[in-house]
Structure 1
Amino acid sequence: MERRRRTSKRRLAVLLAGATVPALLVAGCSSGSGGSSGSDADGGKDSSAAAVPSATTTPPLAPARFATLPSSCRTVTKDTVSSLVPKAKHSGGTTTDTAGSGSTRSGCSWTGNGKDGFQYRWLAVSLERYDSSAQLGAADLQAHKRFTDEIAALEKASGTTATGVTGLGDEARSISGKATVAKVTSQNDTVVVRTGNVILIVEYNGAGLEGKKNPSAKSVQSDAERAAKDAVASVAAANA
Structure 2
Amino acid sequence: MSEGTMQRRAQRDDQFAQRATRTGGLNRVLAAALAVPVMVFAAACSSDSGSDSGSAGGSASAADGAQGAGGSGDTAASSAPAVEAAAYATLPSACKVLSKKTLTDLVPKGTSSAKEGDSSDTGARASCSWSSLDNNGVKGSQFRWLNVSLLRFESDAATGDAESQAQTYYAKQVKTAQTVTDAKNAKTETVTGTGDQATVVRYDLKKKEGAFKQQTVVARVENVVITLDYNGAGLAGEKTPSADTLTASAKKAAQEVVAAVRSANGEGSGGGSAATTSPSPSASASKSASATPKPTATKSASAVSKATASRASSKASSKKS
Normalising by the smaller structure, the TM-score range is 0.7 to 0.9
Q: Deviations over 1:122-146 (max 9, x none)?
A: 0110000000000110000000000
CA distance in structure 2 between the partners assigned to 1:116 and 1:79 by the alignment: 23
Deviation at 1:59, TM superposition (A): 2.0
Post-superposition offset of 1:92: 5.4
State the distance in 2 between where 1:170 and 1:108 align: 22
Unaligned stretches of 5+ residues in structure 2: 1-67, 267-321
1:140 equivalent to 2:166? Answer no
Two-structure CA RMSD over aligned residues (Å):
2.1
1:153: Cα distance to partner?
Answer: 1.8
Q: Which residue of 1 aligns with 2:176?
A: 153
The runs of at least 4 aligned residues of structure 1 exceeding 4 Å deviation read none
Residues in 1 aligned to 2:131 and 2:221: alpha-carbon distance in whole angstroms:
26
Residue in structure 1 matched with residue 241 of structure 2 by the alignment: 215
- Counterpart selection for 1:83 from 80, 105, 109: 105
2:142 corresponds to 1:119: yes
User: If you compute each CA radius of gyration, which structure gives the higher value, 1 or 2?
Assistant: 2
| 1:65-214 correspondence runs (5 A) | 65-88=87-110, 91=112, 93-98=114-119, 100-114=120-134, 116=136, 118-157=141-180, 158-159=183-184, 160-214=186-240
Instruction: Give TM-score, length-normalised by structure 1.
Output: 0.74
> Structure 1, residues 18-67: CA drift from partner, whole Å, max 9, x if none?
xxxxxxxxxxxxxxxxxxxxxxxxxxxxxxxx9x8682312211111110
Identity of aligned residues (%): 35
Say which structure is richer in helix. Answer: 2
Q: Which has the higher contact order (CA 8 A, sep 6+)?
A: 1
1-structure distance, mates of 2:225, 2:102: 20
Opposite residue 231 of structure 1, the aligned amino acid is V
Amino acid across the alignment from 1:76 = L
Gaps of 5+ in 1: 1-49
TM (norm. structure 2) is 0.56
Q: Distance in 2 between matches of 1:92 and 1:112?
A: 8
Residue type of the alignment partner of 2:130: W
CA contact (8 A) 1:87 1:115 kept: no
- Matched letter for residue 224 of structure 1: A
Partner SS state of residue 171, structure 2 = helix
Q: Measure, in 2, the Cα distance between the counterparts of 1:176 and 1:167.
A: 19
Counterpart of 1:23 in structure 2 is none
Residues 183 and 119 of structure 1: CA distance in aligned 2, closer, same or farther (over 3 Å): closer
Q: Is the 8 A contact 2:113 2:131 kept in 1?
A: no
Question: Alignment length, in residue pairs?
Answer: 190
Q: Give the aligned partner of residue 48 of structure 2.
A: none
Q: Given the superposition, is the C-alpha separation of residues 86 and 115 from structure 1 closer, same or farther in structure 2, using an over 3 Å criterion?
A: farther
Distance 2:135 2:104 in 1: 11
